[in-house]
Amino acid sequence: MTTDMKKHEEPMSTATPTRAPHSDVPTGHRPAEGRVGAGLFDPGQLLKSLPDAFRKLDPRVMVKSPVMFVVLVGSVLTTIFSFKDPTDWFGWAISAWLWLTVIFANLAEAVAEGRGKAQADTLRKAKTDTVARRLSGAAEERVPGTELKIGDLVVCEAGDIIPGDGDVVEGVASVDESAITGESAPVIRESGGDRSAVTGGTKVLSDRIVIKITTKPGETFIDRMINLVEGAARQKTPNEIALNILLASLTIVFLLACATLPPFAEYAHKHLTMVVLVALLVCLIPTTIGALLSAIGIAGMDRLVQRNVLAMSGRAVEAAGDVSTLLLDKTGTITLGNRQASEFVPVRGTTEAEVADAAQLSSLADETPEGRSIVVLAKEKYGLRERHQGELADAEWVAFTAQTRMSGVDVDGRKVRKGAAGSVIAWVQQQGGTVAQDADEIANRISEAGGTPLLVAVHDDQGARILGVIHLKDVVKEGMRERFDELRRMGIKTVMITGDNPLTAKAIAEEAGVDDFLAEATPEDKMALIKREQAGGKLVAMTGDGTNDAPALAQADVGVAMNTGTSAAKEAGNMVDLDSNPTKLIEIVEIGKQLLITRGALTTFSIANDVAKYFAIIPALFAAVYPGLDKLNIMGLSSPDSAILSAVIFNALIIIALVPLALRGVQYRPVSADKMLRRNLTIYGLGGLVAPFVGIKIIDLLISLIPGIG
């Protein structure tokens, strides 16, 4: 028989609830109306961001985007050459639309940043200068919160604002974290567990706690959030840098191509002005994706903020999209978390009523959810009146400890014990009793069914013996199998992490539909698993909330720390879930994939656009000199000037038309990579080829209607 089955393999005190206390609304699914940044793209937001778009015309800012910097230089050049001939309407029109192209590109980034700044403004309102009650020995002294240092101890009572980030080292209190999470329901913070971390700017609602400060002033959680959500601390990700290099290379190629056109034109006795050459260059380089690239990255982080997830870097969001292995805690993520007693199974020679009576008696001092469920089951199913500790004045209660893994009571000459199989068997043998042969069979059967067996034993005048087994059932959350099927279609391997024994873990893994499981997991086991997956070239994501999770969170490519967890866990992870909902990891992966898909789709569209514009403009420009090219002028553009101007106008308008898509993101569907590639090539590749032909032709027709131009 497996002797290391545990009563509390995963203590319920560490399970993270998916609902806030006293709240009927699951956290992470609150109405969007009260959430800053939830709106998508509206004219009011656009007008508000317009001043920022003009401020970004600073060359020191523009040079960070090589493609748009070339457009800015081209705009300056065409404006200078237009002054040489103020009557040249074509030069002024090209200059105006090139400037609009740059402004539209800046506007896309400004709108994305504006949503983050709105969130940052809300956080700044929550950040208040507080007076801290710092402990100096046994005495208190009042000091400004800005003077606190790491390691200082401060006291907070009901009504006090917590002056800085830290860990509760004494006491327990109810804390209002609505300024951070948006959730109005209070949370419990206490010393000595995984719910000890508190955030500066939140408010203590009840009781008294002593907090050890863990951050310097100006480096608190709120300060970091403000910098991150408004984009001040956003660094380009490796993929963005690589894509920028590709776009710069394409720009150089098209620059060289445009530089070769004047000699051909001169040979054919046709003069190409600088305005025409700049317009051609701007139309051919990948301005669309160059303009939207930064907005796509900012919007990806903003979508996480809308779901109350703080990404410490854009690299983390991007890595989430490439994750191929997902580590998920069983309790609170895959299962509901509170294991419930479902039946009492007697060994041979014992009745269910005897087992129920002993189980209830031994659970009266057990305040865990499992212990409470045993008392309730005995009352409801077997008609046993719920007894209380006060009724058994002479009883000696045996509390559960991690060492004994048992609880029970000594009363009326009897000793009753309930707990993990190995511990109860060892106790019976120490008392000189024997172990029933079918106890092993019953416990194994329950484990194989996905349950947790707890043995019940008694030592009375008949000696020490096992009475039966309590079946604790861990309920898998509804819809989890379907979610894991989706992840499998996405090519993501799911691994369930649990402290359960292998038999129990296997049964729950099969019921939930995960690909693999790690039973009786220790922090070292988690680290080894992550390193093993990474050695195979895979990116790994996991969640955690305790100090013992910190090494694995730091090792994982995407480490999501729960806001209710310890400071060590939050420092180790590269994301923090403010709702402390472990299932949010699945949404984070989907948002990361949506970011990568959006970037890839718009890059495909942009490059296809350039190809189409090339075949639309060049034939119209040289058809008069080389009549054979007229066959390629399939749109029948009215004149070379109209063809170029139409292309420049289309090039500017398509940027502003795609801003909503860049901010919202391309809809993600859990399909295989080859299907996704075919879909994007069909929609955005083919669409990118067709759109310029249609758009340029419509603009050309409108231009031809203008007297003196057409």
Binding residues for Mg(2+), by number, are 545, 549
Could you tell me the CA-to-CA distances from 442 to 5, 438, 453, 471 in Å, in that order?
13, 6, 8, 9
Residues belonging to the chain: 710
Burial of 224 (0-12, 13-18, 19+ CB in 10 A): middle
Q: Which residues sit in the known binding site for ATP?
A: 366, 370, 400-407, 418
Spatial contact of 331 and 15, defined as CB atoms under 8 Å apart: yes
**Amino acid identity, residue 627?**
P
Spatial contact of 45 and 115, defined as CB atoms under 8 Å apart: yes
> Of 589, 605, 600, 544, whose CA–CA distance to 571 is shortest?
544
- Residue 51's contacts (CB-CB under 8 Å, 6 or more residues apart) are none
- DSSP 8-class letter at 65: S
- At 10 the three-state DSSP class reads coil
Could you tell me the CA-to-CA distances from 302 to 40, 116, 575 in Å, in that order?
10, 6, 13
Rounded to 10°, the helix 314-321/584-622 angle is 90
Angstrom distance (rounded) from CA 606 to CA 609: 5
Spatial contact of 386 and 362, defined as CB atoms under 8 Å apart: no
Catalytic residue check, 329: yes
Token code pair at residue 456 = 């019940």
Placement of tokens 């992550």 in the chain: 530
Angstrom distance (rounded) from CA 138 to CA 210: 12
Token code pair at residue 272 = 């190409």
Q: Which residues sit in the known binding site?
A: 366, 370, 400-407, 418, 545, 549
Burial of 331 (0-12, 13-18, 19+ CB in 10 A): buried
Rounded to 10°, the helix 89-126/640-664 angle is 10
- Residue 447's contacts (CB-CB under 8 Å, 6 or more residues apart) are 2, 5, 453, 501, 503, 504, 507
Q: Count helices and strands (H / E) in the chain.
A: 24, 21
Angstrom distance (rounded) from CA 640 to CA 444: 84
Annotated catalytic residue within 160, 167, 329, 474: 329
Could you tell me the CA-to-CA distances from 548 to 85, 123, 188, 193, 563 in Å, in that order?
73, 30, 20, 11, 15
**Amino acid identity, residue 191?**
S
Angstrom distance (rounded) from CA 281 to CA 272: 13
- DSSP 8-class letter at 683: I
Angstrom distance (rounded) from CA 560 to CA 137: 37
Spatial contact of 589 and 319, defined as CB atoms under 8 Å apart: no
Residues serving a catalytic function are: 329
